[in-house]
C-alpha cells in the first residue's frame, strides 16, 4: 500500500494553465516542479501535471469530496457524473483561490472545464455552465 503512495501518474496530454489565456499549453519538455497546488491568490501561471489530475480528476478523491459535502449538508450520497464534475470544479477553485465564502464565485478556465467534462461527461451531452447570480 505504501508503495502506491510513492508512485506518481503523469497524464501525457496535460500541460500547464496559462492565467491570461485560459488555454492548456504543452510543457512536456520543460522540467516539472514537484510542488503542490499554488498558494491561494497566486496569479502566476499554474503547472497542471503535478496536482490537477490528482485532486480534480481522481475518482477516489472526488468521491471523498462528495461524501464530505453530503455529510455537511446532510444530503444523500450522489455518485453521478454530474456530482463528480461539480466536485472537480470545486477542487480546482479551492486549490487555486482558497475558500471563497458565500456569494464569492470564480469561473474555472475553459481548459479545466473541458478536462473535467471529458473525464466525467454528461449522459445527455447538456451542461449547465457558469451562471451569474
User: Cβ distance 133 to 105 under 8 Å?
Assistant: yes
| pLDDT above 50 for 31 | no
CB-hemisphere CA count at 13 Å for 92? 26
φ, ψ at 47 (rounded to 5°): -80, 120
- Whether the model pTM is above 0.85: no
Q: How far apart are CA 109 and CA 33, in angstroms?
A: 21
Q: Render pLDDT for 46-98 as a digit per residue (tens, 0 to 9).
A: 556 578 889 999 999 999 999 888 766 666 767 789 999 999 999 999 998 88
Sorted by where each begins, the domain ranges of the chain are 51-119
The number of residues making up the chain comes to 133
Position 70 scores a pLDDT of: 73
Amino acid at each position: 500500500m505504501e508503495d502506491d503512495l510513492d508512485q506518481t501518474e503523469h497524464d501525457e496530454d496535460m500541460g500547464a494553465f496559462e492565467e491570461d489565456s485560459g488555454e492548456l499549453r504543452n510543457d512536456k519538455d520543460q522540467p516539472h516542479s514537484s510542488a503542490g497546488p499554488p498558494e491561494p491568490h497566486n496569479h502566476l501561471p499554474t503547472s497542471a501535471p503535478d496536482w490537477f489530475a490528482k485532486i480534480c480528476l481522481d475518482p477516489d478523491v472526488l468521491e471523498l469530496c462528495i461524501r464530505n459535502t453530503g455529510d455537511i449538508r446532510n444530503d444523500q450520497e450522489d455518485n453521478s457524473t454530474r456530482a463528480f464534475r461539480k466536485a472537480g470544479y470545486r477542487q480546482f477553485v479551492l486549490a487555486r483561490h482558497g475558500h471563497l465564502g458565500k456569494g464569492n464565485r470564480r469561473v474555472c478556465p475553459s481548459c479545466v472545464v473541458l478536462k473535467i467534462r471529458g473525464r466525467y461527461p454528461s449522459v445527455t451531452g447538456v451542461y449547465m455552465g457558469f451562471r451569474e447570480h
